[in-house]
Structure 1
């Protein structure tokens, strides 16, 4: 689907990913809504839910401090939703997973992260 909402979703996810890749927590949080949600994939098996700018910033800063390297493999977007398949490498190994993302008003509102079991 080639529509304005889908293009805006892809742009918002790419902006967020670029900030993550740079380790720029300020830019990362600026790309998210005030009421953002991030469901991380750690700790296993179900991860943890972080709600709001303060909680997501704290959790993301700790995660970025572990020096993860994400390789985005594929993104599919339709309207305000996107799915991103990725590999995350870190000391001691790697995981493969998927993020289910929701965008609102040009910013990421929700990231639900799932890993291959």
Structure 2
């Protein structure tokens, strides 16, 4: 394996989902990779190890009923921030926006933490603020 930059790894990772080509993921994941999905709330599911992370991402990439759309990618050294929209239907409310914070070392993904906007109303009073 030749060394890949963080930008190259993230570009290929994103293409796996936009092109529904799970084979692009095969040699991008480190043996000790940790991934936290954005569901279920509040903390998301945690996957540890290459096999668990790869299986999760391959299933997601293979799902042709959904669309992943990167909106903005910011690379800083071995860190990447990817803002995205995930579409699960054709209607205006059939999507969710989110962000992944990813760390790449030696050309492999070692950590990816996913966060998404809530799809429900969160009462302001829950934060100790008046809703009025």
- Contact 1:71/1:86, CA 8 A, preserved across alignment: yes
Among 27, 30, 38, the residue aligned to 2:27:
30
Whole-angstrom CA distance in 1 between matches of 2:110 and 2:10:
10
Structure with more helix by fraction = 1
Normalized per residue, which structure has more strand? Answer: 1
Determine which structure has more spread, i.e. the larger CA radius of gyration: 2
The unaligned stretches of length 5 or more in structure 2 are 119-132
Q: CA RMSD in A?
A: 2.0
Within 5 Å, which residues of 2 pair with 1:97-108?
97-108=98-109
Q: Does 1:18 find its partner at 2:19?
A: no
Structure with the bigger RCO (C-alpha within 8 Å, sep 6+) is 1
Unpaired stretches in structure 1, ≥5 consecutive residues? 1-6
Distance, in Å, in 1 between the alignment partners of 2:35 and 2:66 is 16
Equivalenced residue count is 111
User: What TM-score results when the alignment is normalised by the length of structure 2?
Assistant: 0.73
1:100 & 1:78 partners in 2: Cα distance? 11
The CA distance in 1 between the partners of 2:110 and 2:65, in whole Å, is 24
